[in-house]
Amino acid sequence: MSTGFVFHERCMWHDAGNAASFIPSGGAVQPDQHAEEPETKRRIRNLVEVSGLLRSLTPIEAVLAEEDHILAVHAPAYIDGLREKSRHLGGTAGVNTFFATDGYEIARLSAGGCVQLMDAVVRGEVRNGYALVRPPGHHARPSEGMGFCLLANAAIAIKQARAKHGLARVAVVDWDAHHGNGTEEIFYEDPSVLTISIHQDNLFPIGTGAMADRGGGRGTGYNINVPLPPGSGRGAYLAAFDQVVLPALHAYRPDLIVVTSGFDASGLDPLARQMLHSTVYRDLTQRLMQAASDLCAGRIAMTHEGGYSRAYAPFCGLAVLEALSNTRTGTLDPFDDYIASFAGQELQPHQSEIITQARGLLDRL
Ligand SMILES: [Zn+2]
């Protein structure tokens, strides 16, 4: 069984606008490259090719997401606005979410790539896979874009996969350094989708991602937030997986595991303050694969979110894809030992305290 891979150059043509990091230029801010730019993603795809791994992956074509599928998640007025602006010069979809001409079509392609991947995984065409798409999706809310995200890619694909294939339960594991607020909101009252987000405490969006936010109505207990302190490394992430994420998956018994995957928890990322290195991303992927093998015939679909280090995102991406496909290309990560040597990589008492508290969130599953 193979690993699917979605990449479309047109996704790289999405233009997130002129900014210094994520602050729009103007006033004291000299125009510069926006943090959410194509090269961080294109370089992942390039390393996957140069390493030789690409030829052992199964290409899955991204096609435009159907508007019916998009409207299962997003409000019609929001989509009408995106479509209209996209026909002209573009505009903003919400907080910090600029797009240019044709930005809506490119966002449809990004969401559509995730739909195609999930469909292929659920049909058993591939065992697992990764959609390396942009713009990202996990911050997008039903009625507005947010945090570089226009459409809720993973949520759109999950709703479509559930409708088409009758999946009873889907689990989302969000390891992006930022809180997966959009995915959380969309499924907040829905017990058929378990949402788990491990993120840097109060990084973005400010004021979301608390442990107290556990879902609502029939969905109470089916949203789990693990807000790790800044400076969390290998020890904290492995403990969060071993003590919270994996027990939650085993209790929930999903038919499909979706990972909203950002590499901005890496030790070199400019937008977050965590310390992961590629070996940890490999370890986390292997742990999820073991759980998926035990629970849902190995089905894992990963959709790409953040990750803003041009130098380092490629090595994190390669490690995850090597793990998913049970392959080692022999490509060395020249940063791995350096980041692994950062002080505080082992589990710290204040991190352990948070993870112990988060274990209490499993009681409703
Ligand atoms: Zn992020």
Query: Has residue 88 been placed in a domain?
Result: yes
Distance (Å) from CA 139 to ligand 1 centroid: 9
pTM: 0.98
**Mean local confidence (pLDDT), 321-333:** 98
Query: Has residue 356 been placed in a domain?
Result: yes
Question: Which position among 14, 74, 139, 178 bears the catalytic label?
Answer: 139
Query: Has residue 27 been placed in a domain?
Result: no
Q: Which of 141, 62, 158 is nearest to 106 (CA)?
A: 62
Query: Has residue 245 been placed in a domain?
Result: yes
Per-residue pLDDT at 1 exceeds 80: no
Give the range of the structural domain holding residue 174, as residue numbers without chain letter: 3-21+32-364
pLDDT classification of 137: cutoffs 50, 70, 90: very high
| pLDDT tens digits, one per residue of 7-46 | 999 999 999 999 999 999 999 999 999 999 999 999 999 9
How many domains are there within the chain? Answer: 1
Supply the pLDDT for residue 290. 98
| Strand, helix or coil for residue 197 | strand
E-only strand ranges, 254-294: 256-261
Query: Has residue 26 been placed in a domain?
Result: no
pLDDT classification of 125: cutoffs 50, 70, 90: very high
Query: Has residue 320 been placed in a domain?
Result: yes
Distance (Å) from CA 216 to ligand 1 centroid: 25
Per-residue pLDDT at 135 exceeds 90: yes
Q: How far is it, in rounded angstroms, from Cα 63 to Cα 323?
A: 26
Q: How far is it, in rounded angstroms, from Cα 107 to Cα 65?
A: 9
**Mean local confidence (pLDDT), 244-265:** 98
Q: Would you say the C-alpha torsion 80, 106, 66, 115 has a positive or negative sign?
A: negative
Distance (Å) from CA 271 to ligand 1 centroid: 8
Alpha-carbon dihedral 304, 305, 311, 314, rounded to 10 degrees: -10
Distance (Å) from CA 351 to ligand 1 centroid: 20
If one counts every other C-beta atom within 10 angstroms of the C-beta of residue 246, the result is: 17
Query: Has residue 303 been placed in a domain?
Result: yes
Q: How far is CA 186 from the centre of its chain?
A: 15
| pLDDT tens digits, one per residue of 147-180 | 999 999 999 999 999 999 999 999 999 999 999 9
CB distance 300 to 121 below 8 Å: yes
Question: What percent of the chain is modeled with pLDDT above 90?
Answer: 99
Distance (Å) from CA 41 to ligand 1 centroid: 13
Query: Has residue 142 been placed in a domain?
Result: yes
CATH of the domain at 314: 3.40.800.20
Does the annotation mark 74 as catalytic?
A: no
Supply the pLDDT for residue 244. 98
**Mean local confidence (pLDDT), 99-112:** 98
Q: Which residues have a Cβ under 8 Å from the Cβ of 47 and sit 6 or more positions away? A: 314, 315, 317, 318, 331
Average pLDDT, the chain: 98
Q: Which of 343, 356, 321 is nearest to 44 (CA)?
A: 321
Q: How far is CA 131 from the centre of its chain?
A: 10
